[in-house]
Chain A
């Protein structure tokens, strides 16, 4: 008998749960790298909270563009993104890094111009960036990857100063893969496990994780595990509060296991509450706070939109 249950994310966002247990695994997955038995692992919590960084970014399209002449057109956009990090050490959560980038992304391999507009005494410069494909959605992917690249770079830098760096999203853009960087995927999207193994996800208790499994696909190999951050409400899907994490496959298995254990026991502490965050409990507090701060750094959208229009007017005149 099917039951009606809610996806935990607010309707303005993409759903948190996008996997179907009937799907075939999307990649070659080895579920026995850590242990033979596929059953919940309950690590004991570390004695002290390690030095951790949460790295995240936000982005916003200020204006969509078309670069056109009589014969053809290229899609583009003017966008802003912010990347930063929150440091957590058990006593306080502090935003320690924050940077804003602005891009003029043009698709179809054409390098667009740098666009400069002025607001008060400050100048906003949108640096040119190219994406090869010319589709209406390509520019936004260009903006997204620019942000993800910066996030990965920041995570890489911070990994030498911390016991654990939690990077929002998969590790796609991470270059080195040697530091204690863990990718935090808050949406269950691609099925990596076959149906019987997936069943364990629903049964995970808070603080528990699945055994590690190794994913080998087009991207670099990486270890991954699911864990439960929080118990959802009764009206929500049983998968509420379950997230997937991944660490570089070039790390030693023992090191990854330490990271996974730390995450499984520590992260529930940072799981958000639905009153605070429309993506609770998956969007962790240190990340939600960072996003708020970064969004503010992007500036007032209306003001920027007008400034862009004003500068284009000047050019056209």
Chain B
């Protein structure tokens, strides 16, 4: 149970929401320790204040000058060391906001007291989100993640050190296996965009570097130390590959290539996602785009079957994206005729039309191979369908930025529309997207940002939960960050930590964000008025080829011949 560690200080102001504790001889308090203090009211009631330590300090008492430390250590000047800890109050029961009385006993909260201090007792469906530094599980209220009362997670942190995507996958693992989702877990999906590196391509393979201590941590969290069970890995079809081979790096097996057919591109009106770069919908360019999209859809509707990959425009059968671009922008051999775009665009200024055509041609270079009108094979085998597995990893790290945006925009739009059509929050879909600043930058607007904003503002009721990550929250659309119920911070640049996006961190929290180790995050959630520091266990799934057990095995086999020979 809770154990005595010190007393409320009277030399510093004790307040209902923060106070100082004098640490008793032979005891210690460290950052993030959870404490409880009981304070009597004159009417005999007992107020219990719970809090988290966010500052600790030690100093010599009886010393006045800096140089006294040398005299004291020499054994000449008598002085004693006094330790004190600053506590941020998380909860007051019953809610009578009086300061704790100086001199009151302070105890390190354990068991029921700790649950109460961190509101875990009030969470009906609690999701393990990591371990506190003393090794106890830390929970989040699922109500704020599955859309019941809130949704979305936003993770900030420096690339490489902050382990943002690893934490995102840990959250998914916890969602799928903690049992907090109940029967819905099996029908819950995740769409994970692998935007850089290959960390997320081995989610389905056990991590060969997983140690016994990490397994024990999973145990403590009540989670299995196992890789993701139902995973499909999708990669864009390789450029110029008639066989529709997936374009991936070190992972070859079990990867499915995906692309869109020209007909889908036209029917689903995906052209706008080629024009992601902060083009305002109300601009002239947006107008031309709308017209061309509408006209194309209209033209295509009259011919072919829905399953035909190709389309016919102006009597010409188009089988590649380049051909579509050509049809739209052709001005005749002499260049003296009106292009189709120009015709369709009506009153748009010729400069705007030219800009549209230029951008379309530029996009064709990077995105064209993702939109096919022939060599589509069994269409079902290459459709980007997130329902086929519980977790869908979409690998776009090899794509040009423009193509990345296209895939993200097209995928999310389609999924959003499907969910909108269903009209229920089932099945729940979690979307993991790193580098949010590229897709929903703070400045400007664009079709992809619109989709992400839609998800962040309406996704809650549609059962779409965005787990977004970025280096710096200050570069991401404010509404997306603000809508996230769970705000997570890994290692932060200190200048970045001073920005108002991180206002939930205390001054000490900001300083700590600058020294967080990989595997440690600061999590802020709606019910707990103070951010909590959590450690999450080493991933039980491989995050690179060398970690995947299968990979390691085959490598050993390769070298076996050399050793024996």
A residues near B (Cβ < 8 Å) are 49, 86, 88-95, 269-270, 275-276, 285-286, 288-290, 292-293
Contact = CB atoms under 8 A, between A and B. Distances in A.
A289 B75 contact: no
Contacts of B65: 275-276
A93 B64 contact: no
A288 B79 CA distance: 11
A286 B77 contact: yes
A276 B79 CA distance: 14
B62 interface: yes
B64 A289 contact: no
Given A94-B78, A276-B64, A289-B62, 10 more contacts: A88-B75, A92-B75, A93-B75, A93-B77, A93-B78, A95-B80, A285-B71, A285-B76, A292-B62, A293-B62
Contacts of A49: 75
B281 interface: no
B245 interface: no
B325 interface: no
B512 to A, nearest CB: 33
A92 B71 CA distance: 10
A261 to B, nearest CB: 20
14 contacts: A86-B78, A88-B75, A90-B75, A93-B72, A93-B79, A95-B78, A95-B80, A276-B64, A276-B65, A285-B76, A286-B77, A288-B77, A289-B77, A292-B62
B78 A286 contact: yes
A89 B76 CA distance: 9
Nearest to A49: B75
Contacts of A94: 78, 80
Interface in B333-381: none
A94 to B, nearest CB: 6
A86 B76 CA distance: 10
Nearest to A93: B78
Contacts of B80: 94-95
Interface string B50-79: 000000000000101100100110011111
- Output the residue of A92, A93, A286, A292 with the most chain B CB within 10 A: A93
A91 B73 CA distance: 7
Contact of B76 (A93, A95, A275, A292): A93
Contacts of A286: 76-78
Contacts of B77: 93, 285-286, 288-289
A88 B76 CA distance: 7
Contacts of A289: 62, 77-79
Contacts of A270: 76
Nearest to A54: B78
A259 B148 CA distance: 82
A92 B73 CA distance: 7
A286 B62 CA distance: 11
Contacts of A269: 76
Interface in B453-499: none
Contacts of A276: 64-65, 68
A90 B75 CA distance: 6
A103 B72 CA distance: 34
A49 B74 CA distance: 12
A269 B76 CA distance: 8
A274 B62 CA distance: 17
A292 B72 CA distance: 15
Contacts of B79: 93, 289
Contacts of A86: 78
Contact of B75 (A89, A95, A275): A89
Contacts of A288: 77
A292 B77 CA distance: 11
Contacts of B78: 86, 93-95, 285-286, 289-290, 293
- Output the residue of B65, B78, B79, B80 with the most chain A CB within 10 A: B78
Nearest to B64: A276
Nearest to B77: A285
A292 B63 CA distance: 10
Contacts of B75: 49, 88-93
Interface in B18-51: none
Interface in B74-92: 75-80
Contacts of A92: 75
A262 B77 CA distance: 19
B300 to A, nearest CB: 87
A221 B64 CA distance: 41
A88 B74 CA distance: 10
B60 to A, nearest CB: 11
A290 to B, nearest CB: 6
Contacts of B68: 276
Contacts of A285: 71, 76-78
Contacts of A91: 75
Nearest to B73: A92
A160 B254 CA distance: 85
Contacts of A88: 75-76
Interface string B242-279: 00000000000000000000000000000000000000
Contacts of A93: 72, 75-79
- Output the residue of B64, B71, B72, B80 with the most chain A CB within 10 A: B71
A164 B65 CA distance: 29
A285 B75 CA distance: 10
Nearest to B76: A285
- Output the residue of A89, A94, A292 with the most chain B CB within 10 A: A292
A285 B72 CA distance: 10
Nearest to A88: B75
A288 B72 CA distance: 13
A91 B65 CA distance: 20
A270 B75 CA distance: 9
A158 to B, nearest CB: 15
B389 to A, nearest CB: 67
Nearest to A292: B62
Contacts of B76: 88, 93, 269-270, 285-286
- Output the residue of A49, A269, A276, A290 with the most chain B CB within 10 A: A276
Contacts of B64: 276
B289 to A, nearest CB: 77
B200 to A, nearest CB: 57
Contacts of A95: 78, 80
B515 to A, nearest CB: 33
A31 to B, nearest CB: 33
Contacts of B62: 289, 292-293
Nearest to B79: A289
A122 to B, nearest CB: 11
B267 to A, nearest CB: 81
Query: Across chains A and B, which 10 residue pairs bring their CB atoms closest together, nearest first?
Result: A289-B78, A93-B78, A285-B77, A285-B76, A86-B78, A92-B75, A95-B78, A93-B75, A289-B77, A91-B75
